[in-house]
Structure 1
Amino acid sequence: MKKLLAAAFAASLTIASAAPSFAEDTGKVGVVVKIGGIPWFNAMNAGIDEQAEKLGVDATMIGPTSADPALQVRAIEDLIAQGVKVIGVVPNDAKVLEPVLQKAQDNNIIVLTHESPSQKGATWDFELASAQGFGEAHGKLLAEKMGGKGEYAVFVGSLTGPLHNAWADAAIEYITENYPDMKVVGDRYGVAEDVDKSRSTALDLMSAHPDLKGFMAFGSQGPIGAGRAIQERRMIGNVFVVGPSSPGQSRRLIKSGALAGGFMWNPKQAGEVFVTLADKLMKGEKIEDGETIEGLGVVHPDFENRNIIVDQLVAINKSTVDKLAAMGL
């Protein structure tokens, strides 16, 4: 499977290391993530590989070289052609993927998504944090760091990614209701899956808005880029950056104060859940209300919208970042 994928997508995709091959009747699983080669999805790949080894599932992670929905569509089309039994996706653009995910379903392929609640074409979507809770936690943290006053900007991974924008909605609403002296600057900026774009956008915004006091970045590369911009401008302690990040990548920025912190869930755990759910559904088992699923705990599924959502927030700050980084996150 890995050789076939590499041949088809060598120019545009990063093929993560695959778990060992098992008997054909176990089925094959392909997980298409937003972008390959960054720490967040490297950790997810480790979870996929380890759980695949544990459960005897043939699973492969596929990471496009850029956060381009068209590359995800191509990867999913290839997996459909190969006749895999399960396709997992972390979508860059939920709407763009709808037709190809429906095509997978029409070919009797189980479709699992993550970071895309109520995704059309998905058999199930799973989340390790609710959109409301995740957004509000970051809104509260930014308000605390800014002293409840000043201008702030919001970064998301893309303007079409539903979950990042749902987090932003919840965070902005929380701040608006509780901190009337805080004002959001401009529109959202879809740069938070790219360190360089996040950095340059942060630098431009600080130049254009001298009173800017904060950045809230949803997307693992957004806090890194904005934090580097804070360092360059020597604005540590004057401008605050919050958002989810990979602790191994963000540790120095957090220790220096250039990145104030944030919250995350464990991407390695998310990789494990992809394989756990794939294995369960390939065996014909149903998702039941109140059951315990490894990696998710006790679940209460939304059967109408096909969502399984739990809250497992992990704080990233000066006190926790070393331990989290040591875990390979």
Structure 2
Amino acid sequence: MKLTHTRRTAAAGIFAIVALAASGCTTVGSPGAEGGGDAGGDDGKYRIVTVSKVEGITWFQRMSEGVDMFNEEHSDEVEAYQTGPDAGDPAQQVQIVEDLIAQQVDAIIVVPNDVLGIAPVLERAREAGIIVGVTEATQLVGTEAIDFDVEAFYNAEFGEGFGQQLTEAMGCEGEYATSVGLLTSESHMEWLEAANAYIAENCPDMVNVSPTPYENENDDQVSRDLAEEILNAYPDLGGYLATTPSGGSGMASALRDKGRQDVAVVPLTLPSVAGPDLEDGYMFAGQGWDPAGWGWALNDVALKMLKGEEVTTGSDLGWPGYESVTVDGQLIIGNDIQQYYPGDFADGQYPF
């Protein structure tokens, strides 16, 4: 069975996708899909728009570089660009998608701030004949809201990596705190759940002082203020796990100002963001992936679907970490987990 992009009634669509998920389908799109028609732009190009969680932060700046590179590589057939809210506001994201529907773009890709909250407008986009792709939104897999979801890895595996790094740093004992971008950020919560489960199973003497994680809002100042709050509240804190780059950097900055290296900081991060803190001892380790490749891969799948082409298990999406993807229904999984430690960038040269 092959997943195709078609306009259909909700009841028929839900039945078809449930059947697809049960079948373990390994193909997204097909030559028989409703793709390959006239592009929406006046110049005959497909218009593909990526909507980030928030513009202006390093992570999504790097993602936009991948989108721009994809646009340049395929400039003869696409107009691809990235936009997004100026803060991590779910309502702003919904409005941006509404505007894109009105503009009749060909494909919309979203990194949701609120996965379930944005689902209705994504479903309306599909009803309008627009290809819809997402990432960090596996809750939408198997629903009428999307055509595909590209993930850089399996979330549970990535989350366990955080747990392994933090237990290594803390010697399996002591108090640790956690923060996510937003409690509605599905991927952040899944990573944290997997990390906490790994820690509880392997290091029962470690204590999570924040069963409900703090929210750092993907914001540098909020993260810095939050770090001060946490350090004041827990004077014996031994570790800090943050699922955003700003969360990790905010804590590292607070520790640097205090001249403290007694809290093991393990965040989602980028080499260029974490490098100085890793080398100076204010961050123990970090994890991430290349957001540029993420942006490229999402746009590559969208273009293939627009042209009526297939993405199957083993397909190469044209970027390291996505050379041989795994396809399961609407879900497309790459292999781009990267871990960073002191000494990795001692020369100050960062890949991104």
Q: Determine if the TM-score, normalized by the shorter chain, exceeds 0.5.
A: yes
Which residue in 2 is equivalent to 1:71? 92
Query: Is 1:282 matched with 2:303?
Result: no
Say if 2:179 and 2:241, in contact at 8 Å, map to a contact too: yes
Query: Is 1:261 matched with 2:288?
Result: no
Q: 2:138 is paired with a residue of what secondary structure?
A: coil
Which residue in 2 is equivalent to 1:177? 201
Which residue in 1 is equivalent to 2:324? 298
Q: Work out which of the residue numbers 260, 274, 285 in structure 2 matches 1:235.
A: 260
Q: Which moves more between the two structures, 120-129 or 100-109? A: 120-129
Could you tell me which amino acid in structure 1 is paired with residue 80 of structure 2? A
Query: Is 1:190 matched with 2:190?
Result: no
Say if 1:28 and 1:85, in contact at 8 Å, map to a contact too: yes
Which residue in 2 is equivalent to 1:151? 175
Which residue in 1 is equivalent to 2:242? 217
What are the equivalent positions in structure 2 for 1:312-327 lying under 5 Å apart? 312-321=336-345, 326-327=350-351
The structure-2 alpha-carbon separation of the partners of 1:291 and 1:248, relative to structure 1 and needing over 3 Å to count, comes to closer
C-alpha deviations, 1:20-41, integer Å up to 9, x for none? xx86333101110011111111
Say if 1:247 and 1:322, in contact at 8 Å, map to a contact too: no
Q: Which has the higher contact order (CA 8 A, sep 6+)?
A: 2
Which residue in 2 is equivalent to 1:45? 64
Point out where structure 1 has 5 or more consecutive residues left out of the alignment. Answer: 1-21
Which residue in 2 is equivalent to 1:202? 227
The structure-2 alpha-carbon separation of the partners of 1:51 and 1:67, relative to structure 1 and needing over 3 Å to count, comes to same
Which residue in 1 is equivalent to 2:131? 110
Could you tell me which amino acid in structure 1 is paired with residue 179 of structure 2? F
Q: Work out which of the residue numbers 116, 123, 146 in structure 2 matches 1:95.
A: 116
Q: Which moves more between the two structures, 290-299 or 242-251? A: 290-299
C-alpha deviations, 1:49-73, integer Å up to 9, x for none? 1111112220110021100011111
RMSD: 1.8
Which residue in 2 is equivalent to 1:19? none
Could you tell me which amino acid in structure 2 is paired with residue 30 of structure 1? V
What are the equivalent positions in structure 2 for 1:8-19 lying under 5 Å apart? none
Say if 2:275 and 2:348, in contact at 8 Å, map to a contact too: no
What is the CA-CA distance between 1:233 and the residue it aligns to?
Answer: 2.6
Which residue in 2 is equivalent to 1:12? none
The structure-2 alpha-carbon separation of the partners of 1:298 and 1:191, relative to structure 1 and needing over 3 Å to count, comes to same
Report the number of matched residues.
305
C-alpha deviations, 1:115-143, integer Å up to 9, x for none? 22242412111111211111111111011
What is the CA-CA distance between 1:291 and the residue it aligns to?
Answer: 2.9
Q: 2:272 is paired with a residue of what secondary structure?
A: helix
Point out where structure 2 has 5 or more consecutive residues left out of the alignment. Answer: 1-40
Q: Work out which of the residue numbers 68, 90, 103 in structure 2 matches 1:82.
A: 103
What are the equivalent positions in structure 2 for 1:104-143 lying under 5 Å apart? 104-119=125-140, 120=143, 121-143=145-167
Counterpart Cα distance in 2 of 1:246 and 1:162: 20
Counterpart Cα distance in 2 of 1:245 and 1:103: 34
C-alpha deviations, 1:263-321, integer Å up to 9, x for none? 11100111111221121111011222333332312222111xx2111222112222324
Counterpart Cα distance in 2 of 1:203 and 1:188: 15
Say if 1:129 and 1:312, in contact at 8 Å, map to a contact too: yes
Q: 1:298 is paired with a residue of what secondary structure?
A: coil
Query: Is 1:31 matched with 2:64?
Result: no
Counterpart Cα distance in 1 of 2:123 and 2:345: 40
The structure-2 alpha-carbon separation of the partners of 1:279 and 1:87, relative to structure 1 and needing over 3 Å to count, comes to same
C-alpha deviations, 1:172-209, integer Å up to 9, x for none? 00000000110101221121511222222221122111
Q: 1:250 is paired with a residue of what secondary structure?
A: helix
Counterpart Cα distance in 2 of 1:243 and 1:271: 21
Counterpart Cα distance in 2 of 1:139 and 1:291: 31
What is the CA-CA distance between 1:322 and the residue it aligns to?
Answer: 5.8
Q: 2:207 is paired with a residue of what secondary structure?
A: strand
Q: TM-score, normalised by structure 1?
A: 0.88
Counterpart Cα distance in 2 of 1:316 and 1:37: 24
Could you tell me which amino acid in structure 2 is paired with residue 115 of structure 1? E
Could you tell me which amino acid in structure 1 is paired with residue 325 of structure 2? V
Could you tell me which amino acid in structure 1 is paired with residue 165 of structure 2? L
Counterpart Cα distance in 1 of 2:252 and 2:243: 13
Could you tell me which amino acid in structure 1 is paired with residue 286 of structure 2? G
What is the CA-CA distance between 1:221 and the residue it aligns to?
Answer: 1.2
Counterpart Cα distance in 1 of 2:125 and 2:43: 19
The structure-2 alpha-carbon separation of the partners of 1:243 and 1:192, relative to structure 1 and needing over 3 Å to count, comes to farther
Counterpart Cα distance in 1 of 2:249 and 2:189: 19
- Percent identity between matched residues is 34
